Amino acid sequence: MNGSLTRLLDPDTTLRNKIVEFVGKGDFGLASGQKSAGTYERIWFEEPISLDEVTFEAGVFLLTKAKAKALKGVMQGPEAGMKPVTQPVPEEVIKPEKGVEPSPGTQTRTLRLVGTVPPEIWNRLGTKIIPKLKSGSDLKIGVDFSVTVNAESARSIESDLRQIIEDLGLGSKIRIEKSE
């Protein structure tokens, strides 16, 4: 080697693979959903992690081994780590749609997924759940986003959101509701 830098063909995938490897071996930890108390909603350390969990965005942090070990020891319950990727969606999230009872001769069922989704897995909805739902028919997906913003910046954010919605071709399908 001559000491020059080698350019990676796909740096995101290479880095994501390395982070998965390092977190699994316990060389580093990965955290998301930072709380005000200095803890996180999720911490992965010395455990398998899916490539889908590794994102390069605000709110996802690579932790040193010492910090991950310390935080993991402080946290209790399911928030201390990731549920296995192969775990099915909890039954309380998948419920037959109310009022929909199949007629005696019909062999179909309607499933409706209801609940909140933590920000750290939003991307996985598009890669895991939606393809599964597309295997059926009459798929409908709605949105219900809610955010509290500073009153001074609300008008600017609203304008940006309207532009994004128009750019996506959803102007006639998504509306912005304001409350004071």
The domain in which residue 52 lies consists of 11-80
- Nearest Cα neighbor of 53 from 45, 92, 73 is 45
C-alpha to C-alpha distance for 78 and 24, rounded to whole angstroms: 18
Residue 32 has a pLDDT of: 84
Residue 103 has a pLDDT of: 52
Structure-token pair, residue 122: 């939003």
Residues 101 and 68 occupy one common structural domain:
no
C-alpha to C-alpha distance for 129 and 126, rounded to whole angstroms: 6
C-alpha to C-alpha distance for 135 and 115, rounded to whole angstroms: 21
C-alpha to C-alpha distance for 112 and 94, rounded to whole angstroms: 6
Residue 173, phi-psi category: left (phi > 0), alpha (psi -120 to 50), beta (remainder): alpha
Residues 98 and 150 occupy one common structural domain:
yes
Mean pLDDT, 10 residues at a time, over the chain (180 residues)?
Answer: 67 85 92 81 87 81 89 56 36 44 64 79 77 82 86 88 88 85
Residue 64 has a pLDDT of: 92
Residue 88 lies in a domain: no
Residues 163 and 126 occupy one common structural domain:
yes
Pair type for strands 111-113 and 60-64: unpaired
> What are the backbone angles phi and psi of residue 94, rounded to the nearest 5°?
-100, 115
Number of domains in the chain: 2
Q: Tokens 């390092």, residue? A: 22
Residue 130 lies in a domain: yes
- The CA radius of gyration of the chain, in Å to the nearest whole number, is 21
Residues 76 and 48 occupy one common structural domain:
yes
Q: What is the pLDDT of residues 134-158, one digit of tens each?
A: 888 888 888 888 888 888 888 899 9
